[in-house]
């Protein structure tokens, strides 16, 4: 397997939540010479400089400035999302059932709920507290205690294999925290995190305790949580870091939270984050607004999100002429109703980058009698008026707690992204 695939596994293991994703990316970018910008400050951007900016701790935009900026400079942007379907801990986090202390959760995104049962689960996210001076501070946490959502034994559910496993998320999906009915969750979190001050709030999620790994008789598969969409985030980041300075164009990697719940938030792809960052980049070089609109008109956006490989046991779920395979290269995603932002122009450009990289490509289009999901692509395309294509690597078990992708696809996508940045 490639070193990029090995790196992806480590990245996933170190990124249990969107907050950890952005924190890890910020650390890596700074180690590579990128300067952190703050939205509340005045930006000083130099030709040939490397920068990034975060919003709400779970979205990030990183970019390389061209070595020779002009009014003809444009943006080459790759976008993805940092979040994955999960179970989020409620504000009143505990309750008691049948002598067990339970953890109260709500479902975040379109999780495949049955996959969360009988798995070892950990808690991670961010905790906010008031320090001794009264300031609000936060820390990222990963707690070491394993929890479970146990299945009901087949002896007590005799029809489950014939009638299916039906999950009521209110009644059946709360993990067992322990047998101690007197667990004070806030005191427990305060002790385990070692914070000095008053615990105020949290964004805490459950995640799979099992590490990412390779599988298959030739290690041709990746088994991991959150491949959708950390596989895309990692590929875009690697391409940005390996790219050389572009003489005329800005090279941008933009990663947003909340795609799995619609992207309508302070830092989602449907917010003003992308537009604000791009405008401020141009304004750092000129006080005129016209160059921004000129730049957008000649820019390209790659929306990259994992896509559905054909399933060997459910082949009929696919259009018979659009059955992406694992390890056969990037997938171009199209939809006549613009659930994907792809059009003929953006397909033509993406094929050029594939040819340049020496990488094969595949096509995906839904069955005509089946609804189509969407991505950040249409939102960004509509908000910015920018030419956009939706692509992704093929995968199985999408939105399961543990997903499956092709080992070799990852490097191929990086190669195409590098060709895009270098074009």
Tens of pLDDT along the chain (423 residues) come to 689 999 999 999 999 999 999 999 999 999 999 999 999 999 999 999 999 999 999 999 999 999 999 999 999 999 999 999 999 999 999 999 999 999 999 999 999 999 999 999 999 999 999 998 999 999 999 999 999 999 999 999 999 999 999 999 999 999 999 997 778 999 999 999 999 899 999 999 999 999 999 999 999 999 999 999 999 999 999 999 999 878 899 999 999 999 999 999 999 999 999 999 999 999 999 999 999 999 999 999 999 999 999 999 999 999 999 999 999 999 999 999 999 999 999 999 999 999 999 999 999 999 999 989 899 999 999 999 999 999 999 999 999 999 999 999 999 999 999 999 998
- 111 Cα distance to chain centroid: 14
- Name the residue range of residue 371's domain: 3-84+225-422
Number of domains making up the chain: 2
| Integer CA distances (angstroms), 269 to 140, 249, 262, in order | 23, 22, 9
**166 and 310 part of one domain:** no
Positive/negative CA dihedral, 307, 311, 314, 320: positive
Residue 219 resides in a domain? no
**349 and 374 part of one domain:** yes
Cα distance between residue 250 and residue 95, in whole Å: 51
| 3-state SS assignment for residue 11 | helix
- Would you state the pLDDT for residue 244? 80
147 touches 121 (CB < 8 A):
yes
Residue 285 resides in a domain? yes
- Would you state the pLDDT for residue 245? 73
Cα distance between residue 3 and residue 6, in whole Å: 5
Residue 218 resides in a domain? no
323 touches 379 (CB < 8 A):
no
| Of 269, 345, 337, residue with least CA distance to 300 | 345
Cα distance between residue 243 and residue 211, in whole Å: 30
Q: Which two tokens stand for residue 176?
A: 């067992």
> What is the DSSP track for 22-45?
HHHHHHHHHHTTPEEE-TTSPP--
Residue 216 resides in a domain? no
- Would you state the pLDDT for residue 183? 84
| 3-state SS assignment for residue 178 | strand
CATH code for the domain in which residue 244 is found: 3.40.630.10
Among 144, 177, 208, where does a domain finish? Answer: 208
- Would you state the pLDDT for residue 1? 64
Cα distance between residue 210 and residue 224, in whole Å: 8
CATH code for the domain in which residue 195 is found: 2.30.250.10
Q: For residue 281, give the H/E element and its range.
A: helix 273-283
Q: In 10 A of CB 40, how many CB atoms?
A: 5
Q: In 10 A of CB 344, how many CB atoms?
A: 8
| Of 39, 84, 32, residue with least CA distance to 60 | 39
Cα distance between residue 388 and residue 346, in whole Å: 6
**35 and 144 part of one domain:** no
**304 and 233 part of one domain:** yes
Residue 240 resides in a domain? yes
């Amino acid at each position: 397997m490639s070193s990029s695939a090995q790196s992806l596994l480590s990245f996933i293991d170190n990124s249990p939540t969107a907050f950890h994703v952005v924190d890890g990316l910020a650390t890596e970018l700074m180690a590579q010479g990128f300067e952190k910008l703050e939205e509340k400050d005045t930006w000083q951007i130099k030709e040939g400089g490397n920068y990034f900016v975060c919003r709400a701790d779970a979205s990030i935009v990183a970019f390389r400035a061209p070595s020779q900026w002009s009014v003809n400079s444009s943006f080459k942007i790759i976008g993805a999302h940092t979040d994955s379907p999960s179970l989020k801990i409620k504000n009143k986090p505990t309750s008691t059932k049948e002598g067990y202390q339970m953890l109260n959760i709500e479902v975040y995104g379109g999780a495949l709920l049955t996959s969360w049962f009988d798995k070892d689960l950990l808690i991670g996210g961010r905790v906010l507290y008031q320090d001794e001076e009264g300031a609000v501070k936060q820390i990222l946490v990963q707690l070491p205690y394993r929890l479970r959502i146990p299945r009901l034994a087949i002896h007590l559910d005799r029809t489950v294999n014939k009638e299916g496993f039906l999950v009521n998320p209110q009644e059946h999906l709360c993990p067992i925290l322990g047998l101690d009915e007197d667990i004070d969750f806030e005191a427990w979190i305060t002790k385990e995190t070692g914070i000095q001050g008053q615990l105020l709030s949290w964004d805490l999620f459950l995640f799979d305790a099992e590490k990412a790994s390779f599988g298959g008789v030739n290690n041709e598969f990746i088994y991991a949580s959150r491949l959708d969409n950390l596989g895309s985030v990692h590929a875009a980041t690697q391409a940005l870091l390996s790219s050389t300075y572009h003489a005329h164009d800005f090279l941008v990697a933009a990663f947003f939270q909340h795609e799995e719940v619609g992207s309508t938030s302070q830092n989602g792809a449907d917010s003003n984050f992308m537009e604000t960052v791009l405008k401020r980049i141009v304004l750092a070089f000129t006080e005129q607004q016209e160059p921004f609109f000129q730049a957008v008109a000649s820019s390209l956006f790659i929306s990259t999100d994992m896509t559905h490989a054909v399933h060997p046991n459910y082949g009929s779920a696919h259009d018979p002429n659009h059955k992406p395979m694992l390890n056969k290269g990037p997938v171009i995603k199209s939809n006549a109703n613009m659930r994907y932002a792809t059009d003929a122009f953006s397909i033509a450009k993406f094929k050029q980058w594939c040819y340049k990289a020496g990488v094969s490509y595949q096509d995906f289009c839904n069955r005509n009698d089946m609804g189509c999901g969407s991505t950040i692509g249409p939102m960004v395309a509509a908000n910015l008026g920018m030419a956009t294509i939706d692509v992704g690597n093929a995968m199985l078990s999408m939105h399961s707690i543990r997903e499956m992708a092709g080992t070799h696809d990852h490097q191929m996508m990086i190669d195409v992204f590098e060709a895009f940045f270098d074009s």
